Structure 1
Amino acid sequence: MPSRAVPPPPPPAEIRAWPDEEALLADRARAMTELHRLSIDPKRLVLLWLTAVGFATGWWLFGAALRFFTETPSFPDVLLGAITGAIGVGCMVPTGIVIGLGIARDAEVRDRLRQWSALACDPARDTRYGAPALSLVWFLPSFLLCALGLWVSFTVPAGARPGEDTLAGVVLLMGFGLILWLTGLIGIAKAVSHYRWAIRLVPRPSAGAHR
């Protein structure tokens, strides 16, 4: 997933040289704004889905190759199955690596956000990060995707009938369900993690404070 460089962490305490608190808060705000965008931007959700589609395409080709081997094991079909399977693996490996790198990068972004937010307290500017809208943009479709993936993964093998449904077909659909479930789970984890960070950033007033 293409992306811009992650802002660096704040400098160690012994070499910090901000002239005053306002300069520190301004640098903190710039870094956190960019990190917040990199973390929860809806465009990154679309990129995650597109990468998952690439992986699912590779899995579909791999499943088609399994059918060549199990249903029509003649030499031309075996050769075509081997080529199709190789193309499928060629799709799954790079997209799987990209997803793994994206997960690692998200962890780095979250860590940088925590470091910059712990540097100082700036409630006036930090309130913008507490809005739940972006977290919901990630959470709701990811939850539906996760639920759909679980439903496919469990209902396909439970409803398979000997003589009507092939092993390759069942494995193919279960794989699609697993891909949907994992993609949704990644989105849910990001939404929940980001929102937990955001609500801790600006403490909510207690009930006693209004009395």
Structure 2
Amino acid sequence: MPASHRDLPPPPPPAHMRAWMDETVLRADRALFLRDLVKRSLGLGRLLLLWTVSAVFALGWTFVGMAVMAHESDDGLSAVFVPVYAVLGAGVLIPTGFWFVWGARRDREVRRLLSAWAEADRDPATDSRLRAPGRSLTWLLSSFVLGALGLWVTFGTAATVRPGKGAYGLITYVMGIGMILWITALLGAAKATAHYRWALRAFSGARRH
């Protein structure tokens, strides 16, 4: 397993090995690892981490907006800060982008392990709790609020900007912040919906076993 995933639960044993293992031990491991993986996927800490990354990305975009507004200004002193703001923006946005890619890969690994352990056995008493409808709803509602805020920032605030010096930079900044909020909301809503749909598919056979 990659070094970045060393703290994740291990994958389930192959099917030919599970046939020789104690069923009680296997089910206990499965329940423990699935609870851990669901928490890693939809836990409150994961939601706050997503928002934190978005906030850091918004900070980087703020420096970009300041660079554009300084470039539009006729003030010679402001023009001196254009490269400073641009470097600060790149210094924040680029590492945050790399972290986001790492997080996306980690989420894929979590989903792969969730599917693998869900298929390893059936335990209706445990599986019914792993659908986590409450957590999915929390992600969905909070994402809806964040998305509404993003739309208001993007269109409502931008509509109040009047033409003039710095207007282009201000609109760029405001619409960028709104899009960051909107994309964060879409990611949260998609994650909640995908987990709930996966759980329904993965555990629908539990009733038949």
The two structures have a TM-score, normalised by structure 2, of 0.86
1:193 equivalent to 2:194? Answer: yes
- 1:42-61 to 2 correspondence within 5 Å? 42-61=44-63
Gaps of 5+ in 2: none
Match in the other structure for 1:142: 143
Distance (whole Å) between structure 2 residues aligned to residue 29 and residue 150 of structure 1: 40
Task: Give CA-to-partner distance per residue, 1:38-95, whole Å, 9 cap, x none.
Answer: 1111011111111111110111111111111111352x43221211221111111112
Query: Does the 8 Å contact 1:48/1:99 carry over to 2?
Result: no
The share of aligned pairs that are identical, in percent, is 43
Query: Does the 8 Å contact 1:142/1:187 carry over to 2?
Result: yes
Match in the other structure for 1:67: 69
* C-alpha RMSD of matched pairs (Å): 2.5
Distance (whole Å) between structure 1 residues aligned to residue 25 and residue 60 of structure 2: 50
Match in the other structure for 2:79: 78
Q: Which moved more, 1:11-20 or 1:99-108?
A: 11-20
Distance (whole Å) between structure 2 residues aligned to residue 104 and residue 97 of structure 1: 11
1:134/1:121 CA distance change after superposition, 3 Å: same
Match in the other structure for 2:184: 183
Distance (whole Å) between structure 1 residues aligned to residue 132 and residue 111 of structure 2: 17
The two structures have a TM-score, normalised by structure 1, of 0.86
Distance (whole Å) between structure 2 residues aligned to residue 154 and residue 147 of structure 1: 11
Cα shift at 1:160: 4.2
1:52/1:127 CA distance change after superposition, 3 Å: same
Distance (whole Å) between structure 1 residues aligned to residue 49 and residue 16 of structure 2: 39
Which amino acid is the alignment partner of residue 191 of structure 2?
Answer: K
Tell me the secondary structure at the aligned position of residue 195 of structure 1: helix
Match in the other structure for 2:122: 121
Figure out how many residues of one structure are paired with residues of the other and give that number: 204
Gaps of 5+ in 1: 207-211
Distance (whole Å) between structure 2 residues aligned to residue 119 and residue 44 of structure 1: 26
